[in-house]
Amino acid sequence: MQVVAVVPAWMLADGEYVGLAVGDAVSTGFALQVTATVPDGAGVLAQDADRPGLTTVGGRTVTVGRTTVLCCSPWVLALLASRRVDPDVDLSVEGWLTVEPYLWAPGSELADAEPEGRSDWTVTRLRAVGEEAAHDIDRLPAVDDVDPDAVYVVDLSR
């Protein structure tokens, strides 16, 4: 299984995933930064190769505490949306798949309620996307070297 996800610059500036390199193992869950509700969206996770991290997925929403997740086996994604997402509905959405170390931290409410939302992965590729074209990098930058205007993209497999 392979997936492409975004690592926001602010997350690196907070110290998460600093120094992560191609070939490294990482345990993470994901969030989907919802940009649109998609009619007849994919029942399984599908990604746009031309726009790394752009993801369409359909499933059933579940509320865990104050967080809404989308369950579509084998995926469980925290939904980050600008408006409220109703629980217990079938929903197809599009958005940016983002690694999410905070909501899915071991012992957190989400990790305890939906343990399948966090998985072990191997990093297969890293890219930095800024004002210039995307380019491959060997490892994610140190806190002092993070470009605040960049988006970092990580290809994962398991």
Question: pTM score, two decimals?
Answer: 0.90
**At residue 3, what is the residue type?**
V
CA R_g for the chain = 15
- In single-letter form, the type of residue at position 144 comes to D
Alpha carbon distance 88, 151 (integer Å): 33
More confident residue, 40 or 57: 57
Alpha-carbon distances of 29 from 47, 50, 78, 133, rounded to whole Å:
17, 23, 8, 28
CA dihedral 91, 94, 99, 101 (to 10 degrees): -40
What HEC string does 31-54 produce? EEEEEEECCCCCCCCEECCCCCCE
Q: Tell me the per-residue pLDDT of 14-51, one tens digit each, with 9 for 90 and over.
A: 888 999 999 999 999 999 999 998 877 777 899 988 88
pLDDT tens for each residue of 90-129: 999 999 999 998 999 999 999 999 999 999 999 999 999 8
CB–CB of 122/20 below 8 Å? no
Q: How far apart are CA 37 and CA 92, in angstroms?
A: 6
